[in-house]
Structure 1
């Protein structure tokens, strides 16, 4: 974007006493969300939107926007996420021209992080604002006369592959792993859900953020989900990446789930899958960080529907790299692609028979300082642009030499539970 095209945004941030439940401030239209355990960011309206051809393209656009912006804040020691912020969602495969990555700058951002709350107004002086300016007394609630609506009836249909066909793809992946140097590949499947009326994104966000509080619930341009996997967080020079690989479905009985957790921790198949993912993240971060800490063994992350093997990698960020730049370096990790990366990507394209779009790509936000949080778009669905009654759900599994197609199908069904439950209410 050249100097003539870029808008000179005006940004004003002020402290807020109590914003209540952030999810309740999400508008039905032109809303974006990033929430975990009551904290996060909600955006209303759009002052700028950019369709990016690559991570580098997105970074250039964002740097130009930040440079031209007039930014003011009433906050002492403003926290990450305050001030000028963009929400983003990136495609899994940048070579796929049918899908586009996107950055969105809202008109109003409601933030609550680290025990502090704030409201940011962002305006383009050359355009008329779509939302009224905030008053000092009380921020407006988003569409107070319109309550979120649950889908009444939802029907499901196979996506690109039926269950048995996907099992066949898994079997073929295992054959290739044992034959041609492929160590691991992540295969995904999709499912089409059709409601009897237009889907209300607010309903889905509230259901997901309420049930999966330890996950990051997100909404960006119709992509909605609750991911347990933090690709990278960069805040005040500290970098964190949460790696998940190795999954087992919970039974709902504590004694059984305790035994399942022990079995997961000792599973050679799952530990192998997890090790590939951790190694890929550590190798990608190394050129940009110092003092990296990689735990010797994973822990078991307990979610309402599944158990995961998890490892939190931490490091100190070298100067000059943004959260978005780190996301670009990390994507695609072995947790969503496989290893070796190029061979895994080729295998995915040949066996999945679908366009992942922005599923399994980075999703999150970046602020004017370059801090941000980028999760991996998992446990999600993409609301159809032309028919908002439809949403395509996605789930994927890491396939290694010891994978069993029937067990992998069961695991993929477990990973579809969060979105299916959110649709069912």
Structure 2
């Protein structure tokens, strides 16, 4: 069993009103035609009674998120740790793959509620639009470097313990890029992490987002001597520093977004790390 974690003694977040005002400004910019989508993230700071052991948190993530990409990256006494559901790109020989993940809903408390929420997510215009921006960008990029691109007609549901997402797998055959790192460089940040058009979205993030992302949402993965490898993005994560944990979560903002709904979605996205830190229902 994982070693016990210290007790939570304080929870603080940057001004939620400021974040929702940033979302309102982003929606106004999108409706004015300045850009199509932007991803805005927020942070939450937890303080514990003692030093947080990254190994114990990782063991809990392995138990609770068995199908996610688990990662822990330590440097200078800090550790970025998390369980990401989102593959950025995989390359194996001349085949490359990417999982487009955008559009979210919470899980239901019963089977019936869960199915109802899933059906709503599959048909919701705002979430479908948010998802389609990612699919369009990745399929276009693969088309530039591959002989053929394969993908289904529409998204499926990816159901995780706390949240469900719209999910589309894109496969490129006959990839001409010699290394997966070249694909990472071309793809990051996708519209699932930055927005679209990319440069305008990045400018908006720098102007409006009330935090420095640091390692949050960075590409994380491996590459071998042949240029093959697999990379995910470091979301559903926290930065551990001594007795403190900084949790991060972001949302894709489009013209139909609602600030309160987006805020609630960030809370759902923080749930896996709260659970791994032993803080299940602390609001």
Could you state the TM-score of these two structures normalised by the residue count of structure 2? 0.93
The number of residues matched between the two structures is: 275
1:168 aligns with 2:168: no
Q: Helix, strand or coil for the counterpart of 2:108? A: coil
Match of 2:267 among 395, 407, 413: 413
Q: What is the rounded CA distance, in whole Å, between the counterparts of 1:150 and 1:405 in structure 2?
A: 37
Q: Helix, strand or coil for the counterpart of 1:424? A: coil
1:219 aligns with 2:76: no
Which protein shows a greater Rg?
1
Are 2:5 and 2:277, in contact at CA under 8 Å, matched by a contact in 1? yes
1:273 aligns with 2:127: no
Name 1:351's counterpart in structure 2. Answer: 208
Deviations 1:112-171 (A, max 9, x none): xxxxxxxxxxxxxxxxxxxxxxxxxxxxxxxxxxx8533221244434x32222111111
In structure 2, the CA distance between the partners of 1:156 and 1:171, relative to structure 1 (3 Å rule), is farther
Are 2:37 and 2:252, in contact at CA under 8 Å, matched by a contact in 1? yes
Match of 1:204 among 46, 51, 57: 57
Q: What is the rounded CA distance, in whole Å, between the counterparts of 2:262 and 2:91 in structure 1?
A: 33
Name 1:401's counterpart in structure 2. Answer: 255
User: Relative contact order: is structure 1 or structure 2 higher (C-alpha 8 Å, sep ≥ 6)?
Assistant: 2
Name 1:195's counterpart in structure 2. Answer: 48
1:258 aligns with 2:115: yes
Are 2:84 and 2:236, in contact at CA under 8 Å, matched by a contact in 1? yes
Deviating runs (4+, > 6 A) in structure 1? none
Structure 1 alignment gaps of length 5 or more = 1-146
Name 1:118's counterpart in structure 2. Answer: none
Q: What is the rounded CA distance, in whole Å, between the counterparts of 1:353 and 1:249 in structure 2?
A: 25
Could you state the TM-score of these two structures normalised by the residue count of structure 1? 0.62
Q: How does 1:171-186 map to 2 (within 5 A)?
A: 171-186=24-39
Match of 1:301 among 153, 158, 162: 158
Q: How does 1:57-72 map to 2 (within 5 A)?
A: none
Are 1:285 and 1:330, in contact at CA under 8 Å, matched by a contact in 2? no
1:317: Cα distance to partner?
4.4
Between Structure 1 and Structure 2, the one with more helix by share is 2
Q: What is the rounded CA distance, in whole Å, between the counterparts of 2:54 and 2:155 in structure 1?
A: 34
Are 2:108 and 2:115, in contact at CA under 8 Å, matched by a contact in 1? no
Q: What is the rounded CA distance, in whole Å, between the counterparts of 2:156 and 2:231 in structure 1?
A: 21
Q: What is the rounded CA distance, in whole Å, between the counterparts of 2:168 and 2:237 in structure 1?
A: 22
Q: What is the rounded CA distance, in whole Å, between the counterparts of 1:196 and 1:250 in structure 2?
A: 31
